[in-house]
Chains A and B, each alone.
Chain A
Amino acid sequence: MNATQTRWRWLLWVAVALLLLAAPFLIEATLGRAWVRIADVALLFIMLALGLNIVVGFAGLLDLGYIAFFAVGAYCYALLASPQLAIHWPFLVLLPLGAMVAAVFGILLGAPTLRLRGDYLAIVTLGFGEIIRVLLNNLNRPVNITNGPQGITLIDPLQIGGFSLAQTHSFAGLTFTALHSYYFVFLACAVVSIIISRRLEDSRIGRAWVAIREDELAAASMGINTRNMKLLAFAMGATFGGVAGGLFASFQGFISPESFHLIDSIMVLCMVVLGGMGNVAGVVLGAVLLTALPEALRYIGPLQQRWFGEVFIDPSDLRMLLFGLALVLMMLFRPSGIWPARRRTAENVTERMTEKRHASG
């Protein structure tokens, strides 16, 4: 790479950064305030998808209950920063705590199951996700901890020092509503997540994960401690989920078990698979696309009303139908995703070549 290219690249990054910083104001001006909220949620989903990408994309462990870690992080924050238990701990304590608790849950789930085949892991994680939801729903008796299906309300908003994100602030001629302030916090967290993911990918750990994904036996004989590495992937993925959960709880101010359904796990999985398993940029793209797409689909309800006089397909059902179809079609026709990982592309090419050799020979 020569000097001019380096400079152009540098300029490109500055432009992207400026665009991201200006984004909430641009979005509000063009699409309206509702879409600023959607942008906030998209950033949260980027964090979640990146976490799941570590587990599914890097280490090749199919986790179908990933949303449980999101739930653990959210409830951890909600319980310790709301009138529910009358505890109000500061955000800067709760965020690492939520991450840690989620990581412990990740290890607890992984330890008994990781020595088994991948498909068992899928089922156990699926069950685990349901169990967490059942527990959250039922832990209001005999001692009321989670407040059951009613959920926890009046969760403290983020507050850093004396600066509360829930209030509207004015700065340099711009008005920062809560939605704007949260956008910048989430953006910072998402960028940190991206950097961690990228650094992990090329690190010794990341290469060990890929080795396990491709051939566990070979990886083990090369001296990789496969069990510990898989546990690490689980804990790491769970940490991302836990942090995102804590942010989500403070952002919403209200959480209930209904936010942590199997469907949400599937949605995050879709983001990873559609974007490109194992490719950080692809996963980010997948998360943004799949957060924005269902919102756009919302307009289909009124359109049906106008054209046919009644609503045939509920937009949220249509969304799920499309997700299911997309999962199948992607696996059949483009298994490495919209934006495949470079390493994956190389693998697929060699695979096809070996197949051809089999066919001709």
Chain B
Amino acid sequence: MEIFAQQIVNGLVLGSIYALVALGYTMVYGILGLINFAHGDITMIGALVSLTVIQLLAAAGVPAPVILVLAGGSAVLVCAILGLSIERIAYRPLRRAPRLAPLITAIGVSILLQYSAALIWGKQYISLPEIIEPAQFTIFGAQLTSLQAAIFLLACTIMAGLLWFIKASRMGRAMRATEQNPDVAGLMGVNTNTVIAFTFVLGSAIGAIAGLMVVLYYGLGHYFMGFMLGLKAFTAAVLGGIGNVGGAVLGGLLLGIIESLAAGYIGDLTGGVLGSNYRDIFAFLVLVLVLVLRPSGLLGQPGGERA
């Protein structure tokens, strides 16, 4: 039972990070109908930027809370600019192109980001310097560090804030209008180009925070880390119903729990035949199952699938 509680806690923390990345996929998909393949790599850039800032400031002896705020801030700034320019340069000219074109561009951007990162940061794993000593405490028989708790709470705050923003603010309403029908939204006086650019900026900024969290959680960064993270976050978005912001949150948390439980129990269940090295397969299995059984996802509208 203790193992079960532990896996649930781990899953929730991991899942909240997936959910943050999934938000970026789902918001862009909702408005443009485009899978932004590069989103996982934007998160990776956010992670590596914050790692570099932490390394520099930790060496200078700056206190930990200041370091974290500055690291998060610079990652958000870099990723927001990156998201904005990618939308402007690579996606906007192709908005009316045949549907294969923006997908291929997105893959191109993803490769560009990965290997630019390899050029800047090298191909080795970069480890996080020891800046915080997380306190340990026990909850329902599960071990939890203050770092994990902080990640989970911050992620929940951001998600709640985003849901409120989309529901209540003027820009949020413009986003929903553009999502329903860009042409009509334009006629109603919504500047759809601004809205789409803003969506990219918002998604990338949230992705940057998720990148910082991954770095803090695993203590490592790598130029290729965005690939698996992106694949899982996309799965989370599909699981919750792609295009649905609440669904991305639900899907992320669920996927985190599924993955933790599966990785924790697969050894026992199969008598040690399959190990946790199959961990990364679960996300994919979930993706295929959802696509076969309920392509619209948990919170999506059934039948809304455009063939």
Contacts and interface: CB of A to CB of B under 8 A. Distances in A.
Interface of A: 56, 60, 62, 64, 112-113, 115-120, 122-124, 126-128, 130-131, 134, 137-138, 141-142, 216-217, 262, 266, 269, 273, 277, 313-314, 317, 320-321, 323-328, 330-332, 335, 355
B103 A113 contact: no
14 contacts: A112-B292, A123-B231, A127-B288, A131-B281, A134-B281, A142-B273, A217-B307, A273-B104, A313-B119, A317-B115, A317-B123, A320-B118, A327-B107, A330-B104
A331 B101 CA distance: 6
Contacts of A142: 273
Contacts of A112: 288, 291-292
B35 interface: yes
A124 B107 contact: no
Given A126-B231, A131-B281, A62 B112 contact: no
Contacts of B109: 324, 328
Contacts of A116: 291, 295, 305
B90 interface: yes
A286 B259 CA distance: 40
B170 interface: no
Interface of B: 34-35, 90, 93-94, 96-105, 107-116, 118-119, 123, 227, 231, 234, 238, 273, 275, 277-278, 280-281, 283-284, 287-288, 291-292, 295, 305-307
Contact of B307 (A123, A216, A269, A321): A216
B118 A118 contact: no
B112 A119 contact: no
A141 B105 CA distance: 39
A317 B122 CA distance: 10
A326 B149 CA distance: 44
B108 A327 contact: yes
Contacts of A327: 104-105, 107-108, 111
Interface centre among A119, A120, A137, A355 (most CB of B within 10 A): A119
B189 to A, nearest CB: 21
Contacts of A119: 34-35, 99, 103
Contact of B284 (A131, A266, A325): A131
A124 B291 contact: yes
Given A116-B295, A328-B108, A134 B278 contact: yes
B305 A321 contact: no
Contacts of B292: 112
> What 4 pairs between A and B have smallest CB-CB spacing?
A327-B108, A324-B111, A324-B112, A328-B108
Contacts of B112: 321, 324-325, 328
Nearest to A113: B291
Nearest to A143: B273
A136 to B, nearest CB: 12
B234 to A, nearest CB: 6
B42 to A, nearest CB: 14
B24 to A, nearest CB: 15
A120 B278 contact: no
Contacts of B93: 332
A354 to B, nearest CB: 10
Contacts of A62: 100, 103-104
Contacts of B114: 320, 324
A323 B111 contact: yes
A237 to B, nearest CB: 15
A123 B108 contact: no
A110 to B, nearest CB: 12
Contacts of B110: 324
Nearest to A64: B107
A275 to B, nearest CB: 13
Contacts of B34: 119
Contacts of B96: 355
Contacts of A314: 118
Nearest to A142: B273
A320 B111 contact: yes
B287 A124 contact: yes
B35 A123 contact: yes
B270 to A, nearest CB: 10
A351 to B, nearest CB: 8
A295 to B, nearest CB: 18
A320 B119 CA distance: 11
B113 to A, nearest CB: 8
A262 B116 contact: no
A318 to B, nearest CB: 8
A117 B288 CA distance: 13
A322 to B, nearest CB: 9
A135 to B, nearest CB: 8
Interface centre among B99, B105, B234 (most CB of A within 10 A): B105
Given A123-B35, A134-B280, A321-B119, A117 B100 contact: no
